[in-house]
Structures are given as structure tokens and as C-alpha cells.
Structure 1
Amino acid sequence: MSAEPLEIYLEEQDLGRSLREDVRLGLTATPKWLPPKWFYDARGSELFEEITRLPEYYPTRAERAVLAAHATDVAELTGAKTLIELGSGSSEKTRLLLDAFTRHGDLGTFVPLDVSVSALRQSTEQIAAEYPGLRVRGIVGDFTRQLDRLPTGGRRLVVFLGGTIGNLLPVERAEFLTAMRAALEAGDWLLVGTDLVKDPTVIVPAYDDAAGVTAEFNRNVLRVLNRELGADFDPAAFTHVAVWDPEHEWIEMRLRAEHPTRVRVLDLDVDFAAGEELRTEVSAKFRPAGIAAELADAGFSRQAFWTDPDGLFGVSLARAD
């Protein structure tokens, strides 16, 4: 069975408008910031895939270990008929769930949602070929904006993996989880992956690897702005920095200007002092009780919580009340 035509709720002009809005807001703020979603053009996605294979980057391996051990539990506990994946990318880890549902459930539909048309088209065709009995409906959308476009009916399981929820600030997380609950019906399910609080000597190298791949990934956002907005950043003039914030229990990726520089982007002249930093990502780390409380505040009750053998990464299975 071939994948169904993509349902597109996010056009190129929508992405362009969103990028311009973020740049105007972030580069005129004090301190300056950009949201991490702009890392992921084709080159950025390649670099991130490379990051996930680095020895320092534990989250992907740890989460995969959790899913390998407990995918059958997810299938048996939820009995889902429709599996929806937010920010699906290549859907690599989701195959562990699809395999489990194939063995133990009667899953009928898989719905990956992602902002990238090309990545989604490729992954949906691959999944449809690998799971011929499965209906595959790809949705091009932003999980912070298009949750109302999720398909209705049947018992649904929404999957949000990779620790991506940690890229949202606490207020944004609360808004997202509340919107997620509003998009679901009582008895639907949410599976969410969260990186856990641990010794910063383990966390920081995952965002500042010895080979410099993460540094290249971080600077890629400047290349995106140069290409898409005609900006004149010199990426080599910015140093990659990863900083653990013990108060908020998150890591920040930043780009530090090596010397005073002025950048022209849109209709703005943006000045950077020597040593000034541009925040490009926040990645929150969670405590098990904390994520349970955030889920409960949004109207979910956690039914199961699993970690990898080393306790690095947690996966919560919650039901919509």
C-alpha cells in the first residue's frame, strides 16, 4: 500500500513569515535568541543525524533502549488504532512501536506530522512499503500550531519523542500540553520522551562533542538566515558554547561573537559586542515527578514511566482524563 498524498497545512510562505517574525523578535531582544527549529534545513538535519551517532550523545541511544524494551507494553496498554507522531523526521525509533503494534495490536493508521515536506514524503513512502497493511497519512504542520488538524476517531496514541518537549520553555510546555489535551478525547494516549536530570559532566559533552559536529550544527542556523533572509552573518566569527543552568535544570546552546560585529538582516542592523552570546536552544532536563505533574496539570494521568538501564532518559505513557 502506498502512502496517501500529504495533507499540507503549512506552506513555504508560512515558514518564511514565521522565520521573519522570530528573527525580528529574537535579534532585537536582550539577550538575543533564536528558536531551535531553524537549525533543521537539509544540512542541519544531516548534522543532527550525525550528532545522534556520536559517543557523547546519549539521548537517542537511551530512548531507543527504552522503546526496544517497552514497545510491546505500549501496544498492550493502549490498544491504539491510530498512531500519531509529532515532529516525526525519519520515524526511525517509531518503527519499534510499529513493529510492536503489528505483533500485538490492530493498529490501522500511522500519522506522522512534520514541517518538512521532503522528509515527510520520503519517510511516509518508506513506512508504507515496510508496513503494507498500514494506512499512512502524512501531515505537513507545526506541532505548536496544527494540533487541531490531527485526525479524529478511534483510540489514538500521540508520540512525542527525542526529548523535543525540552526545547519548549516552561510556559510553552504548559501551553503545548494543554493544547494537546484539547485535541484528544478522554481515553486517548500520549507517549512522551524526556531527558532526565543527571550529572552535568554527562549532559554538557552531549551538546559540545569533541569532534565539533554540534558546533557546526549550531552555526548552521546562521547559514539558514543568510540563505533565506539575505543576512550577512560570518559563521566563523561565532563560537559554539554549551552551558548548564543548574537553577532551571536545562542546557543552553549559544553562539558567542568573537569580536564586535554588525550584521544586516531583514531591515535591521544587528550589533554584537565582543563576547556577546546569541541563545539558539534550551534543552530542559526533567525529574520523573516533575513531568508527571506537568502532564497532570494539562489533564493527563501518567500510567507508566520507563527508563533505560542507566537511568539517563525517561519515557512517560499518559492517558487523557
Structure 2
Amino acid sequence: MTTDTGIALVERDEEGVDKAFRKDVLAGLGQAPKAIPARWFYDEEGSRLFERITQVGEYYPTRAETEILGSRGGDFAELIGPGRAVVEFGSGSSVKTPLLLEAIDPAAYVPLDISGDFLRESAAALGAKFPGLPVHPVEADFMRRVSLPDAVAALPKLGFFPGSTIGNMVPRTAVDLLRSMRATLGADEGASPLLLIGMDLVKDSGVLESAYDDAEGVTAAFNMNLLTRINRELAGTIPADAFAHEARWNDDLARIEMHLVATRDVAFEVSGERFTMQRGETIHTENSHKFTPRTASLLLLAGGWTPLERWTDAKDQFSVLLARATDQREAP
């Protein structure tokens, strides 16, 4: 494996705490209703728990997307072609990422992730599986433009964003992310960058709620781990036993919402600031928007990407779309 130390763009204070994490948590707990961005789930334990979520019976997205990636390799090879640097926004899955890499014969692989330890573990595993492939992990917040390693600067790029993580963002934020991806990939330099992105589809609300509240309780543990992380990294005193996991379908906004619900009145501190919550009040921790073919295409277009092809699994539960960076002259 050829590795690169990457470019750490995570800004930390003198105590080693991610400044953006502290800012988002304090702001989110201070507002009404309370909300914390879902990206802060992914410390090392959160990343491991999410890998477990993808294996529970109720959670269909990973199986559906893996089916698409495993059955459409010929299409990917034809439309994407060999020799691109695959830039994955988020550390690669041990199952999904190899399916793509095997199909398209890339020149390099660049995983981007804010969780450095998990990033390095994932990069090492991928490097061992593909010993001839240069791997350049970059610890960074990919919600903004990231400077890629010099080793891939001259290569055409393919962005890879599986898992329908784009659905975790409200539309405005999702559009901003798509635009920052376009900037990261160098949309106006050489061959037009491509983006392969997973988007979950609207379906029966019962199927959706079960997928985010599995019987084994893995998703609940994933949600609750956010409180553990806050207590550990931000000197928090949040009583975890005073909160419960809840997943609910919001039909008006076409999204599953995850909440941490206070089961009693509580008071706690985070980074020296005091907060109170009444019984029944929630911390809104995640949105998972679901798409129709039309809304998926509109979102990509708004973010500066022109859809080229769309694939779904056999049950029509999930979609994977290929798009190219829209030429500035084509933009409205």
C-alpha cells in the first residue's frame, strides 16, 4: 500500500477538542428546539456502531446499495472508465468500496473522514485488499472544500458518496455540500469530475421507522453514543439514563427524524455552560431525507451536478446516481 499522511483540516483547541464540535453542540443545546448535527455521531465508537447498524435485519439501505454496486460493475466501468482518483467522502465500507474499486480500475483512492482513527483503519484495510493501489487518507471535515494530496492533483476525479448520507442534511445544507464536493474535486480543471452518490427512496413509513429503530437496539446505542461523546470530549454532565432513542417519520418533509427524548426533567453542563430540559423535550440528532427520482435529480442540479444515469435495486428501495460536474457555461 502506498499511503499519504493526508492533510488534517480539523481545527482543535489547546485541549485537543474539535472547535466545530464544541461550537455546534453548544449552539444546538442553546436553541429551541434543541438539535445537534448528525455528523457528530461519528467518533470511533459511533463509526463502529454505524457499521453494526448496516448489518441488522431491518436496515435495508446497505443491502440494497451493495446489490446495485455488485451488479452494475460493467455499467460503472463503461461510464466512469479507468484511471480516476476515487475520492470517497467518508471512510470506506469494507463491502461497498471494494465493489466500486474492482469495477473501475482506479489510479488512486482518497478517503476523507473527520474521524482520524477510523479513517486510518479503513484506509489500511483497503490498502491491504488492493496492494497495488495508492491510498491517501485525509483527515478532514468534508462539509467544506478539502485540499487533496498533491499525488492526485493531476488525475481525473470520481467522488464517491454512498449510503444516502446526503439525506442527513436539510436541502440547503445538502446543496452546499454538493457544491463543496465540486470544489474539492476541482470541477474546472481538466476532465470533468464525476460523482457516484447513493440516495434512499420514499417508501412505506413502517419499513422506514423499523430501519431506524431496530429490535436489537443498535441504532438506539448509536444515537445515545452522542451523549457519551459530549460528556467525554466537552466535560459534559448529561445523565444518559434520562434519555431515550426515538425514530419518527415526518411525511410533510419526507424524512425520518431521530431524537433523544428526555424521560424526566434534567439539568446538566457542557463546557461550563448550563442547560435544562423538561420531560418530553428532545434533542433532534438526525434527519434522513428520502427521495423520489425527481427530487434526487433536482437536488443534484442545484448542487452543480448534471445527472447522467440512475440505478435501483430489485425491490426499488434505493438508488445510486452518476452525475458529472456541470460546466459553468451550462449553469442557469
Q: TM-score category by the smaller chain?
A: over 0.9
Residues of 1 paired with 2:253 and 2:281: CA distance? Answer: 21
Partner of 2:10: 10
Instruction: Look up the equivalent residue of 2:54 and give its one-letter code.
Output: T
1:153 and 1:91 mapped to 2: Cα distance?
27
Unaligned runs of 5+ in 2: 327-332
Paired residue secondary structure (2:154): coil
Residue pair 1:6, 1:121 contacting (<8 A) in 2 also: no
Deviations 1:24-65 (A, max 9, x none): 110011100111122222222222111111110111111111
Q: Which amino acid aligns with 1:174?
A: V
Write the distance in 1 (CA, Å) between the matches of 2:156 and 2:115: 27
Q: State whether residues 47 and 118 of structure 2, in contact with CA within 8 Å, keep that contact through their aligned partners in structure 1.
A: no
Q: Which residue of 2 aligns with 1:43?
A: 45
Structure 1: which amino acid aligns with 2:159? V
Matches within 5 A, 1:12-91: 12-13=12-13, 16-80=18-82, 81-91=84-94
Q: Which residue of 2 aligns with 1:271?
A: 276
Q: Classify the secondary structure of the residue corresponding to 1:318.
A: strand
Q: Percent identity?
A: 42
Aligned-partner Cα distance in 2 for 1:6–1:149: 8
Asked if the contact 1:90–1:119 (Cα under 8 Å) also holds between the matched residues in 2, the reply is no
Give the counterpart letter for 1:24 in structure 2: L
Distance in 1 (alpha carbons) for counterparts of 2:271 and 2:253: 33
Q: CA deviation at 1:301?
A: 1.5
Query: Are 2:201 and 2:319, in contact at CA under 8 Å, matched by a contact in 1?
Result: yes
Shift of 1:12: 4.5
- The equivalent residue for 2:145 is 146
TM-score by length of 1: 0.93
Q: Give the Cα separation in 2 of the matches to 1:75 and 1:15.
A: 42
State the match for 1:99 in structure 2.
Answer: 102
Which structure 2 residues correspond to residues 242-257 of structure 1 after superposition, within 5 A? 242-257=247-262
Stretches of structure 1 that go unaligned for 5 or more consecutive residues are none
Q: CA RMSD in A?
A: 1.7
Mapped partners of 1:7, 1:313: distance in 2? 33
Give SS of 2:306's match. strand
Q: Tell me, yes or no, if the aligned pair for 1:243 and 1:253 is still in contact at 8 Å.
A: yes
2:195 paired with 1:194: no
The residue aligned with 1:209 is 214
Amino acid at match of 2:290: K
> Is contact 2:66–2:95 with CA below 8 Å preserved after alignment?
no
Aligned to 2:239: 234
Q: For residues 221 and 109 of structure 1, what CA distance do their matches in structure 2 show? A: 33
Looking at structure 2, the residues matched to 290 and 57 of structure 1 have their Cα atoms a distance apart, in angstroms, of: 23
Aligned residue type for 1:204: E
Q: Which amino acid aligns with 1:154?
A: L
- Per-residue CA deviation, residues 108-160 of structure 1 (Å, 9 max, x unaligned), is 11111111222222222222222222111111111102334474333211000
Assess if the C-alpha contact under 8 Å between 1:2 and 1:125 holds in 2.
no
| 2:289 paired residue number | 284
Mapped to 1, the partners of 2:17 and 2:95 lie a distance apart of 25
Shift of 1:217: 1.2
